Structure 1
C-alpha cells in the first residue's frame, strides 16, 4: 500500500468557506518574471498545458536533454512524482536517469520538490500559493519542480510531462519556461454515481490514471447498482470485491487522488437504531483497513416521508423536518464515532434527500441547524441536471444548507438518456463558482472511456475557471485524446460533434448543423459532400488509429450509426442535386434508397444492465433533419406536397417525438415532458393547401390513461395565421371530426383551451385528404390503398393485390379541368406492370400521351387540358405498384 500524501483537505476548504474566505483567491505573491498572479503570457512556442495554468511565461534561455540526467529529490517529492518525471525524461530522449542527492558535472539536473533550487532561475517559490500549487522552472541549466506540498510537486511533474519533447535520442532543446499555478477549488474530480452498468475494475483503474494526469484529486465510489452500497449495505463485501476496492485505493493514492467510499443506507436504515449505526461504522472500518480515508453517506433518491422503522417516527415524528433531524443524528454519530476517532480521516460527505434546489424547507433547516458543521453537503444545483450553475446559486445553497458545498454535477452522466453519448464540453458554469465551493465532482457516463472527453473540460474548468472557454477546452481535449495525429483528431471532432448536445449544450451537432445551413443558403454541394464523406469515414479512422481502445468499445453502436447516417445524408444530398439538375430518374433512384438507409441508421443498439436493447441516437435533429429537409425539397421540385409533418409547442419526453403522431403505428406516440397550458398546440402540416376530410386524434395510452388534452379545440388554417374552429372537445382521449364538404386547409391543429396537470400522449393524429380521388383496379393489397398512388407523398405506395386484367386502369381525378404540362409516374424499382398513360379531355375521350417505362417515367403532354389521368393496364401484367402519379402544370 502507498502512504497517503499530505493535501489540502475538505475540512480546510470548509473552514475557509465558513470563515467567509475564498479558498481559490489568488495568492499575494507575484508570478514569474514580475507578471501579476493569474496573468498568462502566451507565445506561439508555449507548449499546451492542461489544465490551463494560472501563469505561463517564456524565458530566453533553454536547457538540453543530456544522455544521462540527474534527478535530485527534495522534501515535497514523493515516489509517484519522481516516477512521472523520470518517465517524461526518458520520453524526451534521456538514456539514463540517475536519482542522486546532488548534481553531477556535464549533466542536466532536475530538482523535484526543492524550492531553493528556483533561486538560480530567479523565480519565487511556492510558499505563498494555496495547497497543491506549484512552480515549474526550466532554464539556467536546470529544471525545477517545486510544489506547495507533495501533490503540488506531483502536479508540477504532470506539467513537465506535457512540455518536454518526445524524442528517440538525447540532445533535444527545451525552451525556457516559468509556470506558476494553483487550483481554483480544493476538491476536483468525479463521482461514479449513475444508475446502470457499473464501470469495470479495469476501467476504474484507467480513470484514476486519467484523473492524476489532469490534476483531479477526488474519486467518489458510489455506483447505484453496487448492491453492497445500497440494498446490502450492512453486509460485508465478498473477498474478491474488497480486494478490488483495495486496488483502487492504492492506485488512487499513487495518482494523488482521494478514493471516497460512499455508503447509501437510506433504503432500509433505521436512524435511531444502535445496530444500524454500528453496521455503518463497521463497514467504514473495513474500508479504513484497506486504506480508504474519505467517506460519504448519500441519502438521495429515497423517501423521507416513510420511515423504515416505527422507532424513528416515535423519536422524531413526521415530515421533512423530522427526516432532516434523523439524518443529522445518524451522520453526527458516524462523525463522532468514526471520523473523529481515526487520525487522517477526511471530513465526512453527505448527499441530502433534497439535493437539487436552493429553496428553504423544514428538511434543510433541520440539517443546517443540527448537522455537524464540518460535514460537506453535496448539491446538484438548481435541478437534478442543472443547465446552468451560478455564484449566486452556490451562495444560496451555502446559506440554506448552512454547510460547505461540494457539487455533484450531473454532467456528462447519461443514465437518464441512455441512448446518447454526451461528448460536449462542461458548460453553463459561471466564472468564480469554484471559489465559492468546497469542490466540484462530475457524475460521468455509463461509458467510462467516452466520458474522458467531457471530463477533460471539467478538470480544466475546476482548476482555472477564469481562463476557461468551453469550446477551446473541448478542442484541446480532442487533440490530446487523438494522440496528436491530425487525421484522428479531425475524425474524433466530427464524431464528438454529432454527439455534442445535452442539457448543458443545447446546440445539436453545432459544426455539422452550420454546414447544413451553409448548403441551404449557398447551394455548395461540393463542400457539404466533403463534410459528409469525412463524417462517414470518421468511425473507421477512429477504430484504426485512436490510441484509447476503450473508447471504441464504449462507442461502437454510435460509431456504426454515425457512418450509416452520413451515408443517408449523402444520398439525400445527391437526390436534391440530381433533382435540381433535371435528372429525374437519378433523383428518384436515390430517393428509393433512403428508407433502407434510414432504417439501418436507426437500427443500432447496445444491451443495457437489464438486458434490454437500447437504440442509440447520433446527430438527432440534424442528420435526420437534413434528410427530412432534403426529402421535402425533392418533393417541392417534383411538385407534390410530400409527407405531412407534425409540430408542437410542448416539450418532448425522451425520444417520443411529434413525428410519431403521423407514423401510422398506434403503438408509438408523441409524449410531452410536461403538462400543457392554455394555448399549447399540436399541429399537422399537409405541406400545401389540400381538401380535407375526416380528422382523428387518438390520445393517451395504457399505463398513462390520463395523459391527453382534457379541454381543447380542433382548428384548421390555410396560412397558419388565421384559424377556423372545427370542433370543441372535452374529457375525450379520442376525438373525431368531419369538416364541411369542400374545406381546404394546409394546417390542422388541436389547441388546449385550459391548463391541466397531466402530460399529453398522442398516438395518432390523422388528417384525411380528399382532393384528387383515385379509383380503379386491381384492388389494393392489404396494408395499401389506391389513394397512395396520388396522395402527394412518394414514400407511400399503391400495391395491387393481383396482376392486371383486360380493361383495368388506375384513375386520378384532377377535381376540375386544367392545363396539364406533364405527367410523371414514380414506381418502385422492382415494379414491372405495363400501362399506357392517358388524359381525359373535355369531350370525355381518353388520349394516350405515353407509356410507362421503368421506375421513372416523365411524359411532356404539351399543355393539354384534362380533368383526369389514368394508367390503362395491359392485361397479364404483374401486380402493379405506383408510388406517385404527379400531374405537372
Structure 2
C-alpha cells in the first residue's frame, strides 16, 4: 500500500553467556511435573484452553487412522503426511475400530457427527465434543480407551479438524513421536486472519505464494488476499482477461489455498482508469470476477486505495456524480453496489465483498467517508490501515471509531512488515506488537502486508498468527523466539545465528528498539571494559563472531535455503558490521597494551569493514538496484565511534564532539547524523518544535572557535527547521552567550569574534511551530589549529594541512621523495609545554621540536607507522620532520603535540 573465528565453536559459549534468550525452543518439551505444577507443551498459536490429563500416548511404528466419510479430506491428507514424516511406517486407515489389531494406537479424525467411534472415545475420556465451539474450533484429546492408546481430533467443522492436525503436528515434533497427555479446546478470536500481498515492488513468485499458503494453514491463518501492485492484469490492465497460462497458475494457487483451508481473495483494482458511470466498465468488472470464479475463487475485493479522486477518469463521471470527495464516495459506492447485486448476490457461496476506500488511514469524519457510510451496501467489508498508513499502534477504540465513521465492518489492512515505503532497503524481522487485543475481536479480521522477501516475512507472520488466534494470551517475545526456532530448524547453530540476525533487524516503526540483544552486550562490554575486566569483552566477541559467520552457518545448517537466498545482502552487511566491531575491540585491546601500531592497523581494518558494510545493494527486475540498510547499523556505528573516540583520546587528540537535541528522534535519523560529515544524512525530530527546544554540539572540551555553520531542511522537507531561533554558546552549559537571532533561516553561517571560546553551541527555538526539525549539518570550526608548512609539496588529493588537522582519516602524502633540506613544520597556535610528541605516518626523518628558538632532535620516525617520543616537558612552539634525502615518499596522518 506504500509506494575472524569458527562460528561453530562459538555456539556453546554464546548459549552459556546468553542463557536461552536466543535459542529457546517453543516451550517445555514434555508435560513433566515440577512440584505441583505440570509444565504444558508449547503450541503456537497458543490454544484458548489446554490442560494436562495424564500419561502421554506413544504412537510407535504402527498407527490406525479412523476417518468417516464426512471427515475433512485435507485434514486426512495432512494427518497421513504428518505420521509418515514422523517415522510411522505403517498407517492403517479404517472407518471403524472393529477390525483393527488390539492395542494399536488409534487416531480418530473428526467428531461424533462424521467419524464412528469418536463419540464413545470422547465419553470414555470425559471430554465434551467440539460442536459447541465457534467456527474453526477443535478439540484434541488423548488417553487410553479400553486399554488402547487413543487420540481424538474433533473439529467443529472441517477447518477445525485441519487445525487439530496442525496442533498434533507440533506436539509430535517436539515430543519424539509421543502425544503428551493433554486436553485442548481451541478456537480463533478473529474471523479473518492472514496476509495481503499488497506491496509495491517485486511481487512474490507463484512458488513463494504456494509456500506461504502452506505456512498459513500450518499456523491457523485462513486468509490470503492476492493484490500485488505489479500484476498488470490486476491494476493497469484490469479489464483484460488473464492469458490462459497465468490463469492456470492462479488456479493452482487457489487449489493450494483450499487444501490448506485458506480463503483465496482476489483483489481487482480498477481505480486508475475505470469510468464509474460506464455500464460496459461495470460489466467488464463482473466478467473479470467471473473468470476468477470459474477457477475456484470465492472471495473478492475491489480496492480503491492509492488513487486520486480529484481527477475524474472520464467526463461522464463528472456529469453523473460531480467532482470532489463526495462524488468519489458516491461513484465508488455505485460500482461496488453493482458488483454486490449482480455478482456476489447471484453466486451462492461467495464470501462478503471487500473494498479499500481511498481514505483508508484515519478516523477523521469527512465528506468522502460520510458518503461511503450512507451509500455503500452494508454487507461490504471496508479495509482500513489504522490511524496512519503504517501506525505504531492500533487500538480497539480506534477500530470502533473506524467502524462508526465508515458505517461498515472493518477489515484491518496492517502495513507491517511491509517495506515499500522505504524502497525495500530494510528487512523487518521483529514480532507483531503495538496492536491491542481488542482489535482482533472488534474487526472482521486483520491481514498484514508483508515484504517481497516471502520467507523472511514468515518470522513476523508466525507472531501475527499467534496474536490473531488468541490475542489475550499472546506473548510477543516468546512467540517470536519460537518462530525463529521453527524457521531455523533443529540445528542449534542455525537457531543461534538466525536469532542473532533477527535481533539486528528487529526495529521498525512499530518497535523502535534497536537490536536489544546486541545493545545489551555492548553496554555490558563498556561496563566491563571501563572497570578493567574482560568478561563483557568475551561475551560480545562471541556474539559478534556468530553474526560474522551467520551467512555460512545458515547456509550449512538452516532448513530453509530460500531464506538465506533472500537475506544474503543483509547477512553479508551484518557480517562486515560485526567484523568492524570486532576490529574495534581489538583496537581497544591494543591501546591497553600500548601497541599504537597494532591499534592503528585494527582501526584501518574496522574502517574498511564498515565501508563495505554500508555499500551492499541488491537488484530486482521491478525496483532496480536497492541499497541495503541493516536495522542495527546505527548500533554498530555508535559502538565503533565510541571505540574510535577512546583511541583518539589515548593518542592525545582532542575530545570527540557529540550532537545534542532536546527533541526525540524520528526512526533512525539521530542527532549524531548532524556531525558525521555526510551531507546526505540528517537529524530529524519526531515532533514539532516547542519554545526552548534546541539542537547543538558538545565539543568535549573548551576550545577556541571561529565559525558555526548549520544546514537545515532540504528539498523534500523545505520547512523542517527552527524558524525562530537564537544561536548561543557556553563554556559550562549553564551560562550562555547569544551570537545572533534568526527568522525563517534554514541555513546559518556565523563568524565569531577572535578569541571566542566554547564547549557547547546550540540553536534554540524562541517560538513553537508546527514543523519538525531536520538538520543535515551542525559544524563548529575550531580556531585553535596547528599550521603545517614545508616540502615536498603534497600529492594531488592531499594537503599539508592533513598532517595536523586532528583527523585520522586525512593525511599529507608527498608528491615526490624528499630532497636534501626538505622538511615539514607544524607550528602550534599557542606555544606550550610538551610532554610527548606522537606522529602517525611513515617516512625517514628526524623528529625535532623548536624550543627557545633552537631545533632539538628528540628521535626518528618509527618504521611501524606509529611514533611516540618524549619531549621532556620543553616549552615548544613547533614540531619539525627533517626528511632524509631520498627517503621513501612520506605519508603523515597526524602530528600530535601532547601536554601532561
CA shift, 1:787, in A, is 3.0
Is residue 111 of structure 2 the alignment partner of residue 114 of structure 1? Answer: yes
CA shift, 1:686, in A, is 3.4
Q: Which runs of 5+ in 1 are unaligned?
A: 1-40
| SS of corresponding position for 1:228 | coil
Counterpart of 1:266 (choices 268, 271, 286) is 271
Match of 2:613 in 1: 601
Counterpart of 2:164 (choices 151, 156, 160) is 156
Match of 2:133 in 1: 129
Counterpart of 2:581 (choices 569, 577, 582) is 569
Match of 2:838 in 1: 824
Match of 2:868 in 1: 858
Match of 2:857 in 1: 848
Match of 1:882 in 2: 892
Match of 1:182 in 2: 187
| SS of corresponding position for 1:416 | helix
Contact 2:509 2:667 in 1 (8 A): no
CA shift, 1:186, in A, is 0.6
Q: Quickly say closer, same or farther: Cα 1:588–1:90, change in 2 above 3 A.
A: same
Is residue 563 of structure 2 the alignment partner of residue 558 of structure 1? Answer: no
CA distance in 1, matches of 2:438, 2:565: 37
| SS of corresponding position for 1:145 | strand
Contact 2:577 2:636 in 1 (8 A): yes
CA distance in 1, matches of 2:760, 2:178: 71
Q: Which moved more, 1:613-622 or 1:380-389?
A: 613-622
Match of 2:101 in 1: 105
| SS of corresponding position for 1:353 | coil
CA distance in 2, matches of 1:780, 1:674: 47
Match of 1:692 in 2: 705
CA distance in 2, matches of 1:617, 1:76: 51
Length, aligned pairs only: 841
| SS of corresponding position for 1:227 | coil
Match of 1:727 in 2: 740
Match of 1:38 in 2: none
Match of 1:517 in 2: 523
CA distance in 1, matches of 2:813, 2:670: 29
Is residue 361 of structure 2 the alignment partner of residue 356 of structure 1? Answer: yes
CA distance in 2, matches of 1:196, 1:680: 39
Match of 2:24 in 1: none
Counterpart of 1:798 (choices 812, 815, 839) is 812
Q: Quickly say closer, same or farther: Cα 1:331–1:96, change in 2 above 3 A.
A: same
CA shift, 1:798, in A, is 2.5
CA distance in 2, matches of 1:668, 1:347: 47
Alignment of 1:112-261 (within 5 A): 112-115=109-112, 116=119, 117-140=121-144, 141-165=149-173, 173-261=178-266
CA shift, 1:698, in A, is 4.6
| SS of corresponding position for 1:429 | coil
Match of 2:287 in 1: 282
- Alpha-carbon displacement from aligned partner over 1:682-734 (angstroms, at most 9, x marks no partner): 43443332222233345565677666655544333334444322233445555
Alignment of 1:322-721 (within 5 A): 322-417=327-422, 418-523=424-529, 524-608=536-620, 609-641=622-654, 644-646=657-659, 648=661, 661-662=674-675, 679-698=692-711, 711-721=724-734
CA shift, 1:538, in A, is 1.8
Q: Quickly say closer, same or farther: Cα 1:431–1:692, change in 2 above 3 A.
A: same
CA shift, 1:472, in A, is 0.7
| SS of corresponding position for 2:302 | strand
Contact 2:494 2:558 in 1 (8 A): yes
CA distance in 1, matches of 2:459, 2:837: 54
Match of 1:788 in 2: 802
CA distance in 2, matches of 1:465, 1:42: 28
CA shift, 1:323, in A, is 1.6
Contact 1:42 1:56 in 2 (8 A): no
CA distance in 2, matches of 1:44, 1:547: 32
CA shift, 1:790, in A, is 2.3
CA distance in 1, matches of 2:601, 2:274: 65
CA distance in 1, matches of 2:663, 2:200: 28
CA distance in 2, matches of 1:67, 1:704: 68
Match of 1:33 in 2: none
Contact 2:217 2:261 in 1 (8 A): yes
Contact 1:412 1:451 in 2 (8 A): yes
Contact 1:92 1:167 in 2 (8 A): no
| SS of corresponding position for 2:454 | coil
Q: Quickly say closer, same or farther: Cα 1:188–1:320, change in 2 above 3 A.
A: same
Counterpart of 1:53 (choices 47, 54, 75) is 47
Q: Which moved more, 1:728-737 or 1:765-774?
A: 728-737
| SS of corresponding position for 1:449 | helix
| SS of corresponding position for 2:578 | helix
Contact 1:784 1:799 in 2 (8 A): yes
Contact 1:77 1:154 in 2 (8 A): no
Q: Quickly say closer, same or farther: Cα 1:663–1:59, change in 2 above 3 A.
A: closer
| SS of corresponding position for 2:213 | helix
CA distance in 1, matches of 2:717, 2:396: 40
Match of 1:302 in 2: 307
CA distance in 2, matches of 1:431, 1:275: 44
Q: Which runs of 5+ in 2 are unaligned?
A: 1-34, 113-118, 530-535
Contact 2:111 2:130 in 1 (8 A): no
- Alpha-carbon displacement from aligned partner over 1:21-67 (angstroms, at most 9, x marks no partner): xxxxxxxxxxxxxxxxxxxx996663321111111122223333254
- Alpha-carbon displacement from aligned partner over 1:374-405 (angstroms, at most 9, x marks no partner): 11111111111111111111111111111111
| SS of corresponding position for 2:849 | strand
Could you tell me the TM-score, scaled by structure 1's length? 0.90
Is residue 823 of structure 2 the alignment partner of residue 809 of structure 1? Answer: yes
Match of 1:744 in 2: 757
Match of 2:63 in 1: 69
Is residue 88 of structure 2 the alignment partner of residue 87 of structure 1? Answer: no
Q: Quickly say closer, same or farther: Cα 1:460–1:659, change in 2 above 3 A.
A: same
CA shift, 1:128, in A, is 1.5
Contact 1:835 1:852 in 2 (8 A): yes
Contact 2:493 2:557 in 1 (8 A): no
Contact 1:772 1:812 in 2 (8 A): no
Q: Quickly say closer, same or farther: Cα 1:42–1:324, change in 2 above 3 A.
A: farther
- Alpha-carbon displacement from aligned partner over 1:793-838 (angstroms, at most 9, x marks no partner): 22222233433343333333444343322111112xxx3x222222
CA distance in 2, matches of 1:427, 1:502: 10
Q: Which moved more, 1:41-50 or 1:776-785?
A: 41-50
CA distance in 1, matches of 2:676, 2:599: 24
CA shift, 1:786, in A, is 2.9
Contact 2:425 2:626 in 1 (8 A): no
CA distance in 2, matches of 1:56, 1:472: 18
CA shift, 1:634, in A, is 1.6
CA distance in 2, matches of 1:484, 1:668: 42
Could you tell me the TM-score, scaled by structure 2's length? 0.89
Q: Quickly say closer, same or farther: Cα 1:783–1:688, change in 2 above 3 A.
A: farther
CA distance in 2, matches of 1:804, 1:493: 56
